[in-house]
Amino acid sequence: MGIDFGSLSGRALLVDTSTGAEMADSMHSYAHGLIEETLPGTTEKLPPDWTLQHPQDYIDVLEQTIPDVIRKAGIDESDIIGVGVDFTACTILPIKKDGTPLCFLPEYKENPHAYVKLWKHHAAQDQANRLNEIAHRRGEHFLERYDGKISSEWLFPKVMQIIEEAPEIYDAADRFIEASDWIVMVLTGKETRNSCTAGYKGMWSKNEGFPSDDFFKSLHPKMEYVVDDKFSRTILPIGEKAGEITVKAAKLTGLAAGTAVAVGNVDAHVAVPACGITREGQLLMIMGTSTCHILLGTKEEHVPGMCGIVEDGVMPGFFGYEAGQSCVGDLFDWFIRTCVPEAYVIDAKAKGKNIHHYLREKAAGQKPGESGLLALDWWNGNRSILAETDLTGMLLGMTLSTKPEEIYRALIEATAYGTRKIIETFETNRVPIHELFACGGIASKDPFMMQIYADVTNREIRISDSAQTVALGSAMFGAVAAGKANGGYDSIFEAAKIMSKLKAIVYKPDPEAVRVYDRLFMEYVLLHDYFGREQNNVMKRLKTIKKETSKTINLKMKVIDSINMLPFP
């Protein structure tokens, strides 16, 4: 069984270990959802950029979905040989030694720092800036694995925010723990730590461990022994068994006590074996509102703009590279929300078509390069390879006959150029990429876009055949935790051979389209470097002007009040 915890809901999926067939699944939405305005039961407003969650929601997922899946599948609970868990990351909470979240205790339930800080809690930016500055000044070697920058979304900036803003929570917490590891603790009664979150979010590496106590002391005097006091230096590699279902957890979930539980994992990374990826040079794109790229390599190379490089972080024995594009599905949603004329909406409705579908059909009638348009896909900044949140979108080539579907296609192409730029950056840094794989909503539902990606990258693309690739990946790790002797597998590589699922279709590059896209990509790269590499910092300067005018100027168009605005034309 795989249990997948997303940002708004969790789900359980039961998989037949001998075939990979998905037997039953169940989903449960978090009652508290994203806590961004006020804590439950209080009226005090949270500051901007906060995103919390309530750990009870995760317990509810276990309690609701697992029995539901067992019932639906009509099997005996003893037939379930292992459980794997994946979670969003870095999603952390402060707990007592026995695993009780601090926010469950009456004395802390009105303290926002006692709750789960979700991955997209962005209120620790000051702390992240300070951490980066200090680490650079000290010449900390670990920075290289993160391309010189620790994100405010990650572990230690979040811990720093707690120590600075709520020292009583810092003191009261026996442990800070990733939600993935906490769920494993709920199930097994044992605290374990996994190499994936520790590596990608916690500045840990297999070779070097955590940064030195001296470094942590330089962040905050009280943090000198933070690793030993609040974490653990024992990090289990992905693919290990964490423990077994306790009697208490068996009551909660309906699973049999003694069932094997895998070490925790991250929702994106766990998709890798579910797509059958087991070798170096196979890049997985997890495509949704944004795209996460994961690649296996056999050596640790410094690749500019990567989010992280972690040994054993994705598949044991490999270096897992992670990269990302911060705006993919979100960009198309913005376009639909902002730029689709009424006539199209009416026509789509009349034809009974979803507007995305309608636009794609129109855009599919165009040839590559025919619109004369080119975009930079930076509506939400550029994660890889520029790692610059203050970059913004750009579109050029418009004429008076430019149509909405041409802009739509140009935006899709821009995200494909962004992917190609990431691929080329890996390759110029001695990390080869031979094949592409994709999973997620876009990959399974948009063949038009996938064909453009194949043409732009000049590479074949294979698509996950599971609607729940991530949960399937967790189930595979569950089978590995159980082991071959118990009907599972002795390694994730073995499990991937049998249980992974790909669609029959392979998107193959069309040589004529490739030739046109090669020329367009050269133009993309020119503009990418012009706007992204400090040749013209206009995007950042416009953001500065935007911030300043929003704050300081109270301009009002007096003339608007004094004249009746006549309609025209």
Of residues 394 through 433, those in contact with its own copies by CB under 8 A are 394-400, 402-404, 407
Min dist CB 334 to its own copies, Å, is: 5
**Token code pair at residue 289:** 């509102």
- Residues from 315 through 334 that contact its own copies (CB under 8 A): 327, 329-331, 333-334
In this chain, which of 369, 429, 494, 502 binds its own copies, going by CB under 8 A? 369
Euclidean distance between CA atoms 221 and 370, whole angstroms: 61
> Per rule CB under 8 A, is residue 533 in the interface with its own copies?
no
Q: Which amino acid is at 516?
A: V
- Cα 208 from chain centroid (whole Å): 25
> Per rule CB under 8 A, is residue 534 in the interface with its own copies?
no
Residue 297: helix, strand or coil by DSSP?
strand
Euclidean distance between CA atoms 78 and 240, whole angstroms: 21
Q: Which is nearer to its own copies, 18 or 536 (CB)?
A: 536
In this chain, which of 371, 384, 468, 469 binds its own copies, going by CB under 8 A? 371
Min dist CB 403 to its own copies, Å, is: 7
Q: Which is nearer to its own copies, 321 or 453 (CB)?
A: 453
Select the span of 130-138, 221-229, 414-422, 549-557 touching its own copies (CB under 8 A): 549-557
Euclidean distance between CA atoms 390 and 542, whole angstroms: 10
Euclidean distance between CA atoms 379 and 156, whole angstroms: 28
- Residues from 47 through 76 that contact its own copies (CB under 8 A): none
Going by C-beta distance under 8 Å and a sequence separation of 6 or more, which residues neighbour residue 538?
A: 531
Select the span of 140-148, 186-194, 223-231, 355-363 touching its own copies (CB under 8 A): 355-363
What's the sign of the alpha-carbon dihedral 478, 484, 487, 493? positive
Q: Which is nearer to its own copies, 134 or 545 (CB)?
A: 545
Q: Which is nearer to its own copies, 16 or 330 (CB)?
A: 330
Q: Which is nearer to its own copies, 99 or 393 (CB)?
A: 393
Min dist CB 277 to its own copies, Å, is: 22
Half-sphere exposure (Cβ direction) of 123: Cα atoms closer than 13 Å: 18
Size of the site for its own copies (CB under 8 A): 92
Scan for tokens 């699973």, then name that residue: 255
> Per rule CB under 8 A, is residue 27 in the interface with its own copies?
no
Min dist CB 522 to its own copies, Å, is: 9
> Per rule CB under 8 A, is residue 518 in the interface with its own copies?
no
Euclidean distance between CA atoms 49 and 120, whole angstroms: 8
Site track 283-312 with its own copies (rule: CB under 8 A), x = hit:
------------------------------
In this chain, which of 419, 446, 471, 479 binds its own copies, going by CB under 8 A? 446
In this chain, which of 237, 281, 447, 483 binds its own copies, going by CB under 8 A? 447
Q: Which is nearer to its own copies, 319 or 531 (CB)?
A: 531
> Per rule CB under 8 A, is residue 520 in the interface with its own copies?
yes
In this chain, which of 220, 360, 362, 383 binds its own copies, going by CB under 8 A? 360
Residue 262: helix, strand or coil by DSSP?
strand
Select the span of 21-29, 56-64, 69-77, 526-534 touching its own copies (CB under 8 A): 526-534
DSSP H helical ranges for 143-262: 155-165, 167-172, 179-188, 195-201, 213-219, 226-230, 247-253
Q: Which is nearer to its own copies, 23 or 502 (CB)?
A: 502
- 175: part of which helix (H) or strand (E)? strand 175-178
> Per rule CB under 8 A, is residue 568 in the interface with its own copies?
yes
In this chain, which of 199, 308, 368, 478 binds its own copies, going by CB under 8 A? 368
> Per rule CB under 8 A, is residue 345 in the interface with its own copies?
yes
8 A C-beta contact, residue 241 and residue 262: yes
Q: Which is nearer to its own copies, 107 or 370 (CB)?
A: 370
Scan for tokens 């004429």, then name that residue: 399
Q: Which is nearer to its own copies, 379 or 426 (CB)?
A: 379
8 A C-beta contact, residue 177 and residue 92: yes
> Per rule CB under 8 A, is residue 569 in the interface with its own copies?
yes
Select the span of 15-23, 159-167, 374-382, 473-481 touching its own copies (CB under 8 A): 374-382
8 A C-beta contact, residue 102 and residue 173: yes
Q: Which is nearer to its own copies, 179 or 340 (CB)?
A: 340
- Cα 542 from chain centroid (whole Å): 28
Euclidean distance between CA atoms 339 and 518, whole angstroms: 28
> Per rule CB under 8 A, is residue 342 in the interface with its own copies?
yes
In this chain, which of 382, 392, 457, 500 binds its own copies, going by CB under 8 A? 392
Radius of gyration of the chain (CA): 25
Taking the alpha carbons at both ends of the chain, their separation in whole angstroms is: 64
Select the span of 21-29, 225-233, 317-325, 448-456 touching its own copies (CB under 8 A): 448-456
Q: Which is nearer to its own copies, 192 or 380 (CB)?
A: 380
Q: Which is nearer to its own copies, 247 or 563 (CB)?
A: 563
> Per rule CB under 8 A, is residue 8 in the interface with its own copies?
no
Give the closest residue to 13 by CA, choosing from 403, 416, 478, 352: 478
Q: Which is nearer to its own copies, 113 or 528 (CB)?
A: 528
| Region for 239 from its dihedrals, namely left if φ exceeds 0, alpha if ψ lies in -120 to 50, beta otherwise | left
8 A C-beta contact, residue 479 and residue 83: no
Euclidean distance between CA atoms 353 and 236, whole angstroms: 49
Q: Which is nearer to its own copies, 302 or 533 (CB)?
A: 533
Residue 439: helix, strand or coil by DSSP?
strand
Strand partners, 294: 284, 322
**Token code pair at residue 81:** 């040989």
> Per rule CB under 8 A, is residue 338 in the interface with its own copies?
yes
8 A C-beta contact, residue 418 and residue 449: no
